[in-house]
Structure 1
Amino acid sequence: MTFSLVARCAETGMFGLAISSSSPAVAARCAYARAGVGAVASQNVTDPTLGPLALDLMAEGMTAPEAIAAVQSQGKFIEYRQVLAVDKTGATAIHSGPNSLGIWTQAQAQDVASGGNMLANDGVPQAVVDGFLASTGHLGDRLIAAMRAGLAQGGEAGPLHSAGMLLVDKVAWPVADLRCDWTETCPIENVATAWEIYKPQLDAYVQRAIDPREAPSYGVPGDE
């Protein structure tokens, strides 16, 4: 009931993930990333322990393929799970269990991996990867472009209701964590709208956390 991608910006080392589903609040259960380590999507009959496990393994020095192999051996009911990972070198790996739902498939390249289940057709993950590779600019912009490409290819078999985008870069917290937990319209476009609003303020939010004395003004009533 989901399609997603994990990705790395080769220029900045930033990691990101975007995901959408017919289920509510998909990003709350399925999106994981850690600055300097990687990004992981854990989906399809979701086990939320698998994302942190894969990140911990990569933080300890495993590559994405090694971490996914370890997840396959350690995870419970792994035949029901899909897990996608990208590491700090841009290496990618995917596990798709044979009990993944509906039409399921996956695609990957350097710096990007995509997978999905309950898809409209088996070309969706490749369209997501191609959309990412063909795009330029900020990693957030490229994630949105990739998800739009997957949607244009057919997306999920049923209506999408939730989506999210997660970005990490240098600091210990996500620099962007944007979600649409439920809508009857397009959740990907809702997240894209939120990103357009958030993107110009991203660096300022980070600066306010590091040293508010150097931060720009808030630009709200009462701010001097």
Structure 2
Amino acid sequence: MTYSIAARCPDTGAFGIAMTSSSICVPSRCAWVSDSGVIATQNVTDPQFGPLGLSLLVSGVGAQGVAQQLKTSTPYADWRQIAVVDRHGMTALHSGAHTLPTFSEAYAPNCVALGNLLVDTVVPHRMIECFNDNTRVELAERLLRVLEAGAAAGGEGGNERSAGLEVCAGLMWSDVDLRIDWDEAPLAALRGLWNRYRPQRGDFIQRAVDPEAAPSF
């Protein structure tokens, strides 16, 4: 149903997430990013985990502690699949007993990948390999490449229909927040949207922080 990558860039401190799913509008329920960390909540998802998890990260709770508190906050932890990345690049994972098969997860410093209803358990592992092979690439592009690598490794058993890419790079908002809510080829559509947005990204930040010096529209 869903596979995703959540990560921190150790060079810039930026946080981000990329995900795709056969479900409609998946990022609106499952992707949560701030300047303190990342939460992915998927499978039979509970969107409440996003704001709760981010508030815990802001307060200084580490990834493992956040995941534990999210699990104990609900009687339905067995239905949830959770990933957390904290400000130190530490990670935590949870795939409950009712996670849709085939499910899998993988992690390395600063990144975690997970999925359910996958074609093969290798998918998250290929995603982590791709993340670690692209250390010289800025985070948003890197995450999108990782998502594409997951698809190339087989992706999910159903046809992907939505996708998203979100990055918070030391600001109070996510300066990349791109979504494909429903499309026959959401990864290709997300790639196209990113290619259009990418050249304008710095201009939008400049208009927020110093509009007098910002380029005109």
- Shorter-chain TM-score tier: over 0.9
Q: Which amino acid aligns with 2:23?
A: S
Residue 87 (structure 1) aligns with: 86
Q: Which amino acid aligns with 2:193?
A: A
- In the alignment, is residue 174 of structure 1 matched against residue 174 of structure 2? yes
Q: Deviations over 1:73-100 (max 9, x none)?
A: 1134110001111111111111111101
TM-score by length of 1: 0.94
Moved over 2 A (4+): none
In the alignment, the residues of structure 1 paired with residue 62 and residue 24 of structure 2 have an alpha-carbon distance, to the nearest angstrom, of: 31
Q: Deviations over 1:110-133 (max 9, x none)?
A: 010011000011111111111111
- The 8 Å contact of residues 14 and 169 in structure 1, kept in 2 or not, is answered as yes
143-152 or 70-79, which deviates more:
70-79
100-109 or 67-76, which deviates more:
67-76
Residue 195 (structure 2) aligns with: 196
Aligned length: 216
1:179 alignment partner, SS class: strand
Residue 105 (structure 2) aligns with: 106
Report deviation, 1:15.
Answer: 0.4
- The 8 Å contact of residues 20 and 26 in structure 1, kept in 2 or not, is answered as yes
- In the alignment, is residue 216 of structure 1 matched against residue 215 of structure 2? yes
Residues 75-154 of structure 1: matches in 2 within 5 Å?
Answer: 75-135=74-134, 136-154=136-154
In the alignment, the residues of structure 1 paired with residue 176 and residue 115 of structure 2 have an alpha-carbon distance, to the nearest angstrom, of: 23
In the alignment, the residues of structure 2 paired with residue 85 and residue 189 of structure 1 have an alpha-carbon distance, to the nearest angstrom, of: 27
Q: Which amino acid aligns with 2:153?
A: Q
Report deviation, 1:211.
Answer: 2.3
Residue 19 (structure 1) aligns with: 19
Q: Percent identity?
A: 39
Q: Which amino acid aligns with 1:166?
A: E
In the alignment, the residues of structure 2 paired with residue 140 and residue 206 of structure 1 have an alpha-carbon distance, to the nearest angstrom, of: 15
2:140 alignment partner, SS class: helix
In the alignment, the residues of structure 2 paired with residue 96 and residue 75 of structure 1 have an alpha-carbon distance, to the nearest angstrom, of: 14
In the alignment, the residues of structure 2 paired with residue 53 and residue 108 of structure 1 have an alpha-carbon distance, to the nearest angstrom, of: 22
In the alignment, the residues of structure 2 paired with residue 140 and residue 13 of structure 1 have an alpha-carbon distance, to the nearest angstrom, of: 13
Q: Which amino acid aligns with 2:178?
A: L
2:177 alignment partner, SS class: strand
Q: Which runs of 5+ in 2 are unaligned?
A: none
Q: Which runs of 5+ in 1 are unaligned?
A: 219-224
In the alignment, the residues of structure 2 paired with residue 85 and residue 193 of structure 1 have an alpha-carbon distance, to the nearest angstrom, of: 28
2:137 alignment partner, SS class: coil
